[in-house]
Amino acid sequence: MEIRGYEEVGSEVLEEPRELKGRKLITAKDKEGSLVLFLCISVSTNVTAKHIEAFRRLLVSRGASRGIVIARSRYVREAKIRARRSKEPKIELIPREFPTFNIFKHEYVPEHRILSPEEAKEVLERYKVKPYQLPWIRASDPAVIAIGAEPGDIIEIKRRSETAGEAVFYRYVVEA
């Protein structure tokens, strides 16, 4: 949450809907003030399409713009498809293999940042390229998942160098 700039405003254990009973729900606000809900599934049952659909209904009823599911177990294929199809509200599935620490605090992981549409347009004009002509980075990359980038976004990566000082690279996010 800290990487993306979300501010936690509360948490609760869900009683309704039945599919999500006993699961922890964390409520947060993003930088624009939109509501974001985190669903934590700590038991080792597979996350199914029923869980995703119940979570989508919960997001709509609470007026959230985005939902993030964090599970210890695996996501079945249909759950992944349902989450990918959900455009409004957007549902993101965090894989169980995802690091539980802030990867950007490691000395070898450079700073990553999603460019705003205006910044992306400026970069593309400066280098006279189309987005797909930039080097690619997969949406499944841990740094991309951590900052919440989606396919089609352009990422700015700042690396430190002893000889060059600071080097800036741009990557185009593609489907995993």
Summarised one tens digit per residue, pLDDT across range 89-118 is 889 888 777 777 788 888 888 999 999 999
**Per-residue confidence (pLDDT) for residue 125, from 0 to 100:** 96
Q: Is the pLDDT of residue 86 over 90?
A: no
Chain-centroid distance, C-alpha 22: 24
CA distance linking residue 60 with residue 172, whole number of Å: 31
77 and 128 housed in the same domain = no
123 and 50 housed in the same domain = no
Decide if 2 is inside a domain.
no
User: Judging by DSSP bridges, how do beta strands 24-29 and 7-13 pair with one another?
Assistant: antiparallel
Confidence category of residue 24, pLDDT binned at 50, 70, 90: confident
How many CB atoms are located within 10 Å of the residue 83 CB? 22
**Per-residue confidence (pLDDT) for residue 44, from 0 to 100:** 67
CA distance linking residue 86 with residue 56, whole number of Å: 8
84 and 119 housed in the same domain = no
Confidence category of residue 173, pLDDT binned at 50, 70, 90: very high
Decide if 1 is inside a domain.
no
Which of 94, 121, 139 is the last residue in one of the domains? 94
Q: Is the pLDDT of residue 45 over 80?
A: no
Give me the CATH number covering residue 115: 3.90.940.20
Residue among 47, 99, 101 at smallest CA distance from 69: 47
166 DSSP β-pair partners: 160
Residue among 48, 36, 53, 40 at smallest CA distance from 14: 40
Top mean pLDDT of 39-53, 78-92, 112-126, 156-170 is at 112-126
The residue range of the domain holding 54 is 7-94
CB 130 within 8 A of CB 124: yes
Number of domains in the chain: 2
Q: Is the pLDDT of residue 130 over 90?
A: yes
Q: Is the pLDDT of residue 1 over 70?
A: no
Least confident window among 50-54, 58-62, 92-96, 155-159? 92-96
**Per-residue confidence (pLDDT) for residue 164, from 0 to 100:** 79
